[in-house]
Amino acid sequence: MDIPAWDLLLAEKIRECQEQCSRTYGYRRVHIWLDRQGVHHNPKSILRVMQKYGLLSVIRRKKYRNYGEYLHKYPNLLNRDFKA
């Protein structure tokens, strides 16, 4: 299996992009970054190269936020007395 030369060149450009952005860019943002650098490729080929050479972004965990009762604390004005 022969690796195309443009594959290695693209991987080096992607590695450069990932170093600048601390591996937070996914393939879509890498595609935009490469377009601005003058390197035009299909986004799916960029994704394939990133998967092949282990250049995918680091997925950050979302912070758990419990917006429970303390968010909606209102005084009980009716005291559950709904009679007319």
The predicted model gives 34-56 an average pLDDT of 94
DSSP letters along 30-67, please?
Answer: HHHHHHHHT----HHHHHHHHHHTT-PPPPPPPPP---
* pLDDT value of residue 5: 86
**Alpha-carbon Rg of the chain, whole angstroms?**
25
Please check whether residue 50 is in contact with residue 84, taking contact to mean a CB–CB distance below 8 angstroms.
Answer: no
pLDDT digits (tens, 9 = 90+) for 2-43: 678 888 999 999 999 999 999 999 999 999 999 999 999 999
Q: For residue 60, give its domain range.
A: 1-84
Domain count, the chain: 1
Q: What are phi and psi of 48, to 5 degrees?
A: -60, -45
